[in-house]
Amino acid sequence: MTDSRERRLELKGLHSWYGESHVLHGTTLHVNRGEVVTILGRNGAGKTTTMRTIMGIVRKRKGEARLDGHDLIATPPHKVARLGLGYVPEERGIFSSLNVAENLTLPPVVKSGGMGLDDIYELFPNLEGRDKTVGTRLSGGEQQMLAMARILRTGADFILLDEPTEGLAPVIVDEIAKALVKLKALGLTIILVEQNLKFATASADRHYVMDQGQVVDEFTNERLVSDMARINAHLGV
């Protein structure tokens, strides 16, 4: 079904290393335009590394990685964002020496069609009126919203979202889930790394399961919901 749509990201046999340690062992996956795809897997399976390898933060890599036909391996790290990729890291990456307004406007606009401040405050009302607050003084949930908001402002249309709900209270998780549904409706393409299956299945189209640096299984969302036993076997829950 989804395969008839336009391919945006294509990883083939992707390997990457942190120093001497070989983390990705031939990861292969693809993401189509407008899809929300999750990467599931145990801790240390290589989910975050996959994102960091796509972004070029992990430099030692081999194999094929293309976004809209551009060779990501050959792209210098500061030019990756200009292809429309926006990265929301697991640790959120809010800067303590910048206030909320500075954090929000830090990433340069890379494409037209990004959200204006009004749209952002509508999506995340908590951020409004907090301009002068030091970024890291926000609550964990607000920092997560800020980390997403600053990427949405840039016009990036392919978002890598690493564990957005980690350590957050259920009410906040609900808010982020709602935001994700809205982003999908806007036509953004999203890769989501997530431990919370309920959150993951709420908006995703497909799921990849990673183990030891490789993709070991793939589900459509319908399959996942109807066959939780199979995914649980992978995740060892």
Partner 1 sequence: MPDIFGMPVAVLLGQVLLGLINGSFYALLSLGLAIIFGMLNVINFAHGAFYMFGAFVTWMVMSWLGLSYWPALVVVPIVVGAFGAAIERLFLKRLYQVDHLYSLLFTFGLALVMEGLFRHVFGSAGKPYPVPQELTGVLKLGFMFLPVYRGWVIIAALLVCVATWLVIEKTRLGAYLRAATENPSLVQAFGINVPLMLTITYGFCVGLAGFAGVLAAPIYQVSPGMGSNLIIIVFAVVVIGGMGSIGGAILTGLSLGVIEGLTKTFYPSASSIVIFIVMVIVLMLRPAGLFGREA
Contacts with 83 (C-beta within 8 Å, 6 or more apart), sequence order: 67, 68, 70, 72, 75, 110, 158
Size of the site for partner 1 (CB under 8 A): 23
Applying CB under 8 A, the span of 8-16, 94-102, 119-127, 184-192 interacting with partner 1 comes to: 94-102
97 binds partner 1 (CB under 8 A): yes
- Kindly compute the dihedral angle of the four CA atoms of residues 76, 9, 123, 172, in this order, to the nearest 10 degrees: -100
**Which of residues 105 and 220 has its CB atom nearest to partner 1 in the complex?**
105
Q: Which of 73, 106, 117, 134 binds partner 1 (CB under 8 A)?
A: 106
Q: Which of 13, 26, 63, 93 binds partner 1 (CB under 8 A)?
A: 93
Task: Give residues 53-92 in contact with partner 1 (rule: CB under 8 A).
Answer: 55-57, 77-82, 87, 89
Letters for 133-172 (x = contact with partner 1 by CB under 8 A, - = none) are: ---------------------x------------------
Strand ranges of the sheet holding 189-193, from the earlier edge strand across to the other edge: 85-88, 158-162, 189-193, 36-41, 206-211, 214-220
**d(C-alpha 121, C-alpha 125), whole Å:** 5
98 binds partner 1 (CB under 8 A): yes
**Which of residues 95 and 122 has its CB atom nearest to partner 1 in the complex?**
95
95 binds partner 1 (CB under 8 A): yes
* 195 within 8 A of 42, measured Cβ to Cβ: no
For the record, the structure tokens of 200 come out as 């993951």
Whole-angstrom distance between the N-terminal and C-terminal Cα of the chain? 30
235 binds partner 1 (CB under 8 A): no
> For 185, phi and psi rounded to 5 degrees?
-65, -30
* 227 within 8 A of 217, measured Cβ to Cβ: no
26 binds partner 1 (CB under 8 A): no
**Which of residues 6 and 78 has its CB atom nearest to partner 1 in the complex?**
78
Q: Which residues bind partner 1 (CB under 8 A)?
A: 55-57, 77-82, 87, 89, 93, 95-98, 102, 105-108, 110, 154
